[in-house]
Structure 1
Amino acid sequence: MRKESIIRIGLLNAIVALLSLSLIACSSDKAGSSKASAGSYSGSVYTVKRGDTLYRISRMTGSSVGTLARMNGISAPYTLEVGQKIRVKSSSGSSSSKKTAVAKSSKTRSSAGTSVAKVAPPPVGSKCWRWPTTGKIIEPFSNSEGGNKGIDIAGSRGQPIYASAAGTVVYVGDQLRGYGNLVMIKHSEDYITAYAHNDTTLVNNGQKVSAGQKIATMGSTGSNTVNLHFQIRYRATAIDPQRYLPPQGSKPSC
């Protein structure tokens, strides 16, 4: 799949970083789908099985998504084929030794095997956010390992989904299992928001959107229930949306 020419390299990097860093909160298990059996792994070669993703392989081998993509000549969105052979270590050392070195560093290893510096959450009110939709919070944010890295908002099919702030659409697609139709918006060098399980999407990659603009409708793609899974990322780190959003039903004061 070719990259859209209208998207700058910086925006593509933002997409890859977000996909590799965290969009695992709304996993296939949470969506009610069963996990596929792991592919075979022998020495420096991994054989792709049904349901595998480059992210999942990076988790099992300790190599980052970016490293695996470069070593195997795989371009975003990193589509794999059953039976495909993936090299999982380079001549500079085994994936296990790299993983150990990262674990001993002063940085936090992300879920994709890359390292990102720890960042303090931004102060409340540092950016103006709007609710992307209205409804009951059926699953709140959790900062624990494997926890929900966003909030899940229940609603009805076709309910409008709005951009939480002005920005540029950096991803529209359904390549991530468990997220269905997904939209991601970059708001600055520091912030990205994600909107998952959409029934329909109304924006395109590279499109500028304003705060409160309708970008999608609520659905159940990648989920067993109609809901919106919403994330706010600050410097690639998930933050609790409810800390930064105004009271539901009210307009932001900023």
Structure 2
Amino acid sequence: MRKESTVRKWAPNAIVLLISLFLVACSSNKASTTKASAGNYSGPVYTVKRGDTLYRISRMTGSSVSELARLNGISSPYTLEVGQKLRIKSSSGSSNSSKKTAVAKTSKPRSTSTSSIAKVAPPPVGSKCWRWPTTGKVVVPFSDSDGGNKGIDITGKRGQPIYASAAGTVVYVGNQLRGYGNLVMIKHSEDYITAYAHNETTLVNTSQKVTAGQKIATMGSSGSDSVNLHFQIRYRATAIDPQRYLPPQGSKPSC
């Protein structure tokens, strides 16, 4: 009974927590189109361009997201403006190092709470049936690294159907989360939530119950500079690699 009570108490807060995690998780759909490789920008200052995210800039400069945020005084949700100048760590380890160390020490308590969430043990493969939300090539895979892509980005055609990966209840429909465009989130149980971002149109409403394979949206480029679906599976608010749990593309789940 105590365990059941704990789960029920956690569940309402999970939605709020998940939305917060979406705000700090960097969308990497731009990285898929520009194919930026780590370290290919070496200047001391970077000017933010349209479509840039802190994650993409970190890849180009060979810096971590947290390092860039500390250097430039940027706090979550890491909002950037076109034309904004960002300082980049110099290869020689400039005089900023001591300042960064001090900032890092003061920031440690907040990062500790985030890492404790990330240490949730992933569920075993096959513990739940999932369907592919759409068809297409995975252009950006999942990454659990700091600032990495917390889902998979699937390319396709504008207007292509997006389907519910499993039965559940829609808990969010909107475009208030910057970088994700038109977003749909579905709660499948007390443990699982899926998210579908960058939609052209959404076909469901909050609190609506959906079945596995039901059409919930169409593919688009809202919040992105290319047509794609950013898809996430969250287990107890922690992102897990969808490709570990999805069946081979084009086939139905065997469970």
Please state which band the TM-score falls in when normalised by the shorter chain.
0.5 to 0.7
Map of 1:145 onto structure 2: 146
Contact 2:173 2:185 in 1 (8 A): yes
Amino acid at match of 1:109: S
Partner letter of residue 218 of structure 1? M
Given the superposition, is the C-alpha separation of residues 220 and 29 from structure 1 closer, same or farther in structure 2, using an over 3 Å criterion?
Answer: closer
Number of the residue aligned with 2:133: 132
Q: Which residue of 2 aligns with 1:211?
A: 212
Cα shift at 1:21? 2.0
Code of the residue aligned with 1:248 in structure 2: it is Q
Which runs of structure 2 are paired with 1:10-25 in the superposition (5 Å)? 13-22=13-22, 24-25=25-26
Q: Distance in 1 between matches of 2:190 and 2:181?
A: 26
Instruction: Provide the rounded CA distance (Å) in 1 between the counterparts of 2:135 and 2:13.
Output: 31
- Once the two structures are superposed, what CA deviation does each residue of 1:40-76 show, in whole Å capped at 9, x if it has no partner? xxxxxxxxxxxxxxxx75568xxxxxxxxxxxxxxxx
Query: For 1:152 and 1:28, how far apart are their aligned partners in 2?
Result: 6
Give distance in 2, aligned partners of 1:28 and 1:140.
Answer: 10
**TM-score, normalized by length of structure 2?**
0.65
3-state SS of 1:198 partner? strand
Q: Which residue of 1 aligns with 2:242?
A: 241
How far is 1:118 from its partner? Answer: 2.2
Structure 2 CA distance for aligned equivalents of residues 58 and 227 of structure 1: 25
Quote how far apart the aligned CAs of 1:34 are: 4.6
Structure 1 residue aligned with 2:114: 110
Going from structure 1 to structure 2, the CA distance change for 1:25 and 1:34 (only over 3 Å counts) comes to closer
Identical amino acids, percent of aligned pairs: 74
Q: How many residues align?
A: 187
CA distance in 2, matches of 1:182, 1:199: 10
Residue equivalent to 1:77? none
Residue 117 (structure 1) shift: 6.8
More helix, by proportion: 2
What is the distance in 1 between the residues matched to 2:126 and 2:29? 33
Assess, with a 3 A threshold, how the Cα gap between structure 1 residues 59 and 185 changes in structure 2: closer, same or farther: closer
Structure 1 unmatched ranges of 5 or more: 1-8, 37-55, 61-95
CA RMSD between the two structures? 2.9
Structure 2 unmatched ranges of 5 or more: 1-8, 34-49, 55-73, 79-103
Distance in 1, Cα, partners of 2:155 & 2:226: 8
